């Protein structure tokens, strides 16, 4: 009789242990899924902002042409840089194109100083603000992406989640890094 009772108690403890382990596994898995999805979402946000810039540029070109059409060279630079950005097939090319776009836009806006009518144009001013802000947004989106990567990587590397992270299929993500050291020097954009 006593032996039977001991057996029951042992089984209850074992069962309880299994339940607790299962709960922990579920919570850990769900936590990692949430963080990984944040990383994916943050990455796509960068693309959203990049695309936004590409979409704004044609409007800018048209507006400038209306006032300063013979500044062909500067306008062409912007158009070409934009195209390179759209055509970029890897991150390195993307970043190169982006630096080009920033440089070309800067020249374009500097040029507007010589055309007071253009400068006073409502559309132009709005585009100026939108483009400056979009550059900041690209920067912040990358910053956020790196933050989410850090959070995710830390969680899947720390104990005790690291024991099961590999088994459950969670691998560390890569940080977004600026390829060229000059690009690091461009935090705030002012046109």
Partner 1 sequence: MAQFESLISANKRNSVFLVILFALFICALGAALGWALWGDPRAAIPSIAIALVIALVTGLSGYYAGPKAVLALSKARPIAKHDDPELHNVVEELTLASGLPMPRLYLIDTPAMNAFATGRDPEHAHIAVTRGLRERLSRDQLQGVLAHELSHVKNYDIRFMTLMAVLVGTVVMLAHIGTRAMWFGGGRRRRSSGEGGGAVMLVVLVVAIVLAIVAPILARLIQMAVSRQREFLADASAAHMTRYPEGLASALEVLEGDAHEMPQANGANAHLFIHEPRMARSGRRKSHGRWWSSHPPIAERVQRLRSLGSIGA
Binding site for partner 1 (CB under 8 A): 38, 42, 45, 49, 126, 129-130, 133, 136-137, 140-144, 146, 148, 150, 187-188
Least distance from partner 1 to the Cβ atom of residue 26, Å: 24
Least distance from partner 1 to the Cβ atom of residue 147, Å: 8
- Rounded CA-CA distance 61/52 in Å is 15
Least distance from partner 1 to the Cβ atom of residue 180, Å: 15
Beta-carbon contacts of 42 under 8 Å, excluding residues fewer than 6 positions away, are 141, 144, 145, 147, 148, 149
| Residue (77 or 133) nearer to partner 1, CB | 133
Beta-carbon contacts of 97 under 8 Å, excluding residues fewer than 6 positions away, are 81, 82, 84, 85, 87, 88
| Residue (59 or 126) nearer to partner 1, CB | 126
Least distance from partner 1 to the Cβ atom of residue 63, Å: 16
| Residue (105 or 141) nearer to partner 1, CB | 141
Tell me the C-alpha to C-alpha distance, in Å, between residue 99 and each of 155, 163, 190: 34, 42, 14
Least distance from partner 1 to the Cβ atom of residue 46, Å: 9
- Rounded CA-CA distance 160/118 in Å is 61
Under 8 Å between Cβ of 53 and 141:
no
- Rounded CA-CA distance 121/115 in Å is 10
| Residue (25 or 91) nearer to partner 1, CB | 91
| Residue (107 or 146) nearer to partner 1, CB | 146
């Amino acid at each position: 009789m006593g032996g039977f009772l001991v057996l029951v108690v042992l089984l209850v403890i074992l069962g309880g242990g299994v339940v607790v382990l299962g709960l922990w596994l579920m919570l850990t898995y769900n936590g990692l899924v949430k963080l990984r999805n944040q990383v994916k979402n943050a990455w796509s946000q960068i693309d959203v902002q990049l695309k936004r810039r590409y979409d704004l540029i044609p409007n800018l070109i048209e507006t400038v042409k209306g006032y300063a059409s013979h500044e062909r060279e500067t306008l062409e630079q912007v158009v070409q840089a934009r195209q390179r950005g759209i055509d970029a097939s890897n991150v390195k090319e993307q970043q190169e194109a982006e630096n080009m776009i920033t440089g070309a836009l800067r020249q374009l806006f500097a040029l507007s100083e010589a055309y007071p009518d253009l400068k006073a144009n409502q559309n132009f001013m709005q585009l100026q603000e939108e483009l400056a802000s979009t550059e900041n947004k690209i920067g912040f989106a990358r910053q956020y992406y790196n933050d989410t990567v850090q959070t995710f990587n830390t969680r899947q590397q720390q104990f005790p989640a690291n024991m099961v992270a590999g088994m459950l299929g969670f691998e560390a993500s890569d940080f977004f890094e600026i390829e060229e050291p000059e690009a690091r020097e461009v935090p705030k954009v002012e046109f």
